[in-house]
Chains A and B, each alone.
Chain A
């Protein structure tokens, strides 16, 4: 950043004539440097887009699109009432449904405070095929009346959306 006193006195002849570039050359050099960095970043972005992006699906979409087993994704829907089972060693099983299709989810860990049967949920993990999903995270919500937007959309698609469930909720600034 800024330094009022130069570390050493500025030489009397700042630019040796031999290496002086014209303004145009300078600008080209600058653009080239910026171009290189941008290309590097664009390459990284494209690479990352292929590998580290997860799609969001509802249970019906998984069935319809024929998602391949082993795909990493987010799954959203409602936690089916009566489906939550607690096993030993913090293993939890529950069913995510959108009314037409359902997927069994297994998860090891602590559930967020607002995880409830009959409420919306978004989980991230790996689809294991034949209606099974292994979640490694269950996303928290900040408010109990809040319905994750993807879940609401997925439910709407399946015709199971009841308006009024998404009353305006207080927001965090």
Chain B
């Protein structure tokens, strides 16, 4: 029997979402973690992508170049726009036909909409927003299972969830929790076209209009520099200073949940367990105390600078370097010195 490790290849308008690449990397690692079992049983394990859309062969190829050995593709004009019901039905059909062991889906807006519906229909377990995934043994059972670790209760508790008796073992993972493997144009894989017919009954809800957000899309998850502000700014205007420093560093503005809940800045800027998971090269946290729910979303950053007046703020526990001081003094001075540096090198 072939043990199948599946990744949902999310795409929009023919562009693969980077989270699909990240999950293909995870699936590849999970397969290596059962190599002892494969050796003993003589079975094989494969990493496969599941792709639904319209004219998405390029996306299938992209998935292969990120590590999928095979891509099952439902390519039909009916799937031009994402809709819950037809996508759910198409994927259920593929799951029942091929019987995967593990099924990973990106915890994006689309992925979360889809995953709950698919898991319920198949009657299997689904663990949301995992931050760690491993294949390992569990008590009172033989063989290795998917150990899905996730934060709960606002990040105050870390729990490892297993789904022993049902297949596939499903998990969602937010973008940027894992790093994507390098794209390898030499990778070879197979694209398998699958037929699935959408019935009128599946189209009870239809897209009638799409209003694209104005301005440039804030790509917080994939930004290389993020300057975030929190309640310590004292007032919503403080984000102007945050933005000035972000601009100076070619970065974008992030925020704590407290500042979003206070209505100081839009939700799309929120970093943390209920906001975006980020891993920039540079993360500056100004006036953010560092609640667990914030820390779990940014602790993978390469370099974390924390600025806070309170020397005991929890944010200092995960910072690379901490500055005890008033952000309204420190940030303007940083901008000044950065400009001087640029001037000196120009």
Chains A and B are bound partners: no
